[in-house]
Every structure is written in structure tokens, then in C-alpha cells.
Structure 1
Amino acid sequence: MTVNFAAGPQTTQLWDRVRPIVTQIEALPFLAQLADGTLDTRAFVNYISQDSIYLSGYAKAMSFLAAKTVDRDESRFWAGSAAEAITVEEGMHEELLADPRLAADLNELTTSGSRFKASPTTLGYVSFLVATAASRSYGEGVAAVLPCFWVYAHMGKVLVEEAGQMSEDHPYRTWVQTYDSPEFDDSTRHAVQILEQEFAKATSEEATRMRAAFEQACTYELHFWASAHAMQNWDASVFLPQDVTV
């Protein structure tokens, strides 16, 4: 089951524009394995750890939007969403520490230092969001942060449908179910509506930049999931001949 979150003609066209990227996300082995419970716990813990780093930066980007808009309701929305991102981060850590199946892998990442270090993709995505929200127009900033709402809300429906009736011992049961949240759906619709309104006010040049920011963030969404599954790190040896060390 999928839900149409588009708020008008501009956001409808925008979603159609990035549909090939969304299709690639839907086909990622990470999500299929998450749904059927076969995902390696180290990959899942790595994803959660990277997501906690990402959410801190995402909250900062939305705080910039809250300060930049002249609309009080929109300012409250972005500020509230930023606060919610921090709450989600804290909740993730508590959930991981409470599950013995994941705690060992979490401790391993903590010991190695990986839990607290952004991967190249995470750093790139966060830097893009914060820089766009801080230094570009309000409309471009909204377009950049929107995929985290929209793609996640869409994938929540896809993931729950693929998972079907999960057993009580499904290792990711609680996590999968949190993807399909009516409250998050409402927030997504609100964010999409804001972007539709910004498109209505934008010049053609500004609208082009907004579409580019949205598409770039969607590409980062694809790479974020894939890189977490691949346990991406800063090891440069993968780019060098085997007889060269760094």
C-alpha cells in the first residue's frame, strides 16, 4: 500500500521526477532483509548509529528553516520537527540498549569508535542539508529537508506491506512498525504542503534550484541506506592497489 502525499501539481510532478530513485530504494536488499528479519544485526546497528548522527544534523537544518521563515505556523512546525528528531535519536539508543540481540553489536561499534563517527555518505548528506538550509533560500531549504519526510513515509508503507504479519520474535518488528506512523504521515503532508506553497511563489530559476535540491536529497536517501548496509567507513585502502598500504 502506498499513499499519495503530493499537495498539488508541483509536488506531484516532483515525486514523478524522482520516482526512478525511489524505485531503486525500494529494491535495496537492506530493506528486504529488514522486512523479513534476516538483516545482519551489525548492519542494522550501524544504520541506527549513522541515523542518530544524521538526525542531529537534520535537526540543525530544520532549526535554520524555523528561523528563516516569516510564517509563525511554519516556524513552529520546523522547530517542533527539530525537537522531535532529537527525541527519536534518544529513543533509538534506549531501544538498542534494551535489546540483548543488538547490544553486543552496539558495544562493538562503540568500542571501535564507529558509532560516533559519520560515514562519508552521512557527513555528505548532513553537510548538504545544513549548508542548503543555512545559506540558500527558504524554498531550497524546504526542498532539501523534505525527502527525509516524504521518502521515509512512503517507504514505511512499503516496508510494512513487505513485512506482513511479523512474529513476536522478529528482531526488527518494533522498528518496522514505527515506520508506519499516522503522526509522521501528518507531518509529511504538512511539509509537502509548505513546499507546494513555496513553488507557487518561486520564480522559474528558483523553482529549478528547488527541484535540484529535492532530487539531490533523494539521491542521498538512496546512498544513506545502501552505505549503512555496506558498513561504509573512511578506509582509503579500498581505492588503492592491494600492494599499497595507508
Structure 2
Amino acid sequence: MTTDFSAGPQTTQLWNRVRPILEQIEALPFLGQLADGSLDVKSFTNYIIQDGIYLTGYAKAMSFLAAGANDRDESRFWAGSAAEAITVEEEMHGELLADSRLAAVHEELISSGSGFQASPTTLGYVSFLVATAASRSYGEGVAGVLPCFWVYAHMGKVLVERAGQMSADHPYRTWVQTYDSPEFDESTRKAVQLLEQELENAPTEVAARMRDTFEQACVYELHFWASAHALQDWDAAVLVSQS
């Protein structure tokens, strides 16, 4: 399934470039199990915790974009998106603790010491976005934060289609439905339009870096879902045992 948020030839070409990554994301067991309701509660809770940590850093990256934008409307858009990311994180945490099943697993993860620690992938992704937005060109910063908009909006449509008519007792019904939001779709279209403009006006070398940044962030999107499902932590023994 394809959701076309492209705003012109530049972003159409870019979306086609990352299609192999999108196909890998769509094939992840995490998303299939989320749609059919079979996803392990611990994996889901870990994903929500990591997503909350990620959104805090994501908001910082967009705050840098708000400060770096020359256009007032663009600055307002990024500032508003940063505020919304924090709001979403707080709402997720509240809903997590309101569900007794998730709250119990959440407490277990906190007690184990891994509750609010960023996984290696989460830390890497956040660090990449913040560093890009803070120290690279404005266009590269936009390219970095866009996959979280675009890939998330696309996967929302995929998830809702896969889940079909969910029963009232589907454990992740509310979460699956939040993936498909008209308001978020509109924000995604705005963000894609901004990148289209930046790519159109950027010198060749800068535009190439923007495309590379976008692709790298898409790879991080893939790894973020996969690592949360696998309960990735900082235990080096996992790496040593595979060497």
C-alpha cells in the first residue's frame, strides 16, 4: 500500500529512493503483530517507553529548525510541531499507566533499571536528528526530521488496512487507530512541502546531503521499530556471543 504525500518531483523521487527501506518496515513482525493483536505486551510497552524518549529529543530537533527558519510561518510550524510532540509523549505515558496490563509491565521495566533509559538505537537516532538540526544546514535538518512524519503517516494507513474491523477487545485497537490521523496527515503534507522547496532551491551538493540525511533517518525508523520489539538494551554480551 502506498500513501502519496509527495509535494513535487523532488520528494517523489526521494520517496521512490527509500522504497526498499519502506518495504522492510512493512514486513517487520512488530507491525504485523500490532495489527492482529498478538504483539507481546512487554515489547509493546518497551516501544511506547522508547517512543516517549525519542519524542523528547525529536522536539529538540524541531526547536532548532524553528530557530533556524527564515520564514515566520515555517518557524511557527516547527515550534508547534515540537510542542505537539511533547503533548503526545505525555498523553502516551498517561494512557500507558491507565491500562492495568501495560502499567504492570511498565513497572517491571522500571524496576529492572531499563524503564527510562534510551536504547542504543533510540540514542543514536535522537543524537543524529539533534546534531543535524543544530549544526548542519536548515534543509538538512528538515530532511532529517521528515521521515518521522512521512513514514509514520504511511505506516498508519498500512496498519489500519491490515487490522481491518478490529474487535472491541483488540488489545491495541486504540493505538492502531491513532496511527491514522487526518491532523497528522495535514502536518505531514506541510513538512513534505517544506522539503520540496528546500530541495528545489538548494545547491547540488547540499541537495545531495539532504537526500542522504533523509535516507539515513528512514533507516533509523526501520531500526527503531525492530530494536524496540527485540527489547534492545546495552548488554554487550549479546554482541560478544555473536562474534
Instruction: Quote the offset at 1:100 in angstroms.
Output: 1.1
SS at match of 1:146: helix
Following TM superposition, the consecutive aligned residue runs of length 4 or more in structure 1 with deviations greater than 4 angstroms are none
Instruction: Report the equivalent of 2:43.
Output: 43
Mind listing any 5+ residue stretches in structure 1 that lack a counterpart?
A: none
- Deviation for aligned residue 1:2: 3.6
Q: For this pair of structures, how many residues does the alignment match?
A: 242
Q: CA deviation at 1:19?
A: 0.3
* 1:94-243 → structure 2 map (5 Å cutoff): 94-241=94-241
| TM-score (normalizing by structure 2) | 0.98
CA displacement 1:112-154 (0-9 Å, x = unmatched): 2212100000000000000000000000000000000000000
Which amino acid in structure 2 is aligned with residue 169 of structure 1? Answer: D
Distance 2:207 2:89 in 1: 32
Q: % of aligned pairs identical?
A: 79
- 1:226 and 1:163 map into 2 onto residues whose CA distance is 19
User: 2-side partners of 1:101 and 1:163: how far apart?
Assistant: 21
Query: 1:229, CA displacement in angstroms?
Result: 0.4
Residue type of the alignment partner of 1:173 = R
Deviation per CA, 1:183-238, whole angstroms, max 9, x where unpaired?
A: 00000000000000001110100000000000000000000000000000000111
TM-score by length of 1: 0.97
Cα distance in 1 between the residues matched to 2:209 and 2:220: 17
Instruction: Indicate the residue corresponding to 2:92 in structure 1.
Output: 92
**Cα offset for 1:241?**
4.6
Aligned equivalents of 1:115 and 1:6: distance in 2? 37
Opposite residue 74 of structure 1, the aligned amino acid is: E
Task: Give the Cα–Cα distance (whole angstroms) in 2 for the partners of residues 115 and 190 of structure 1.
Answer: 34
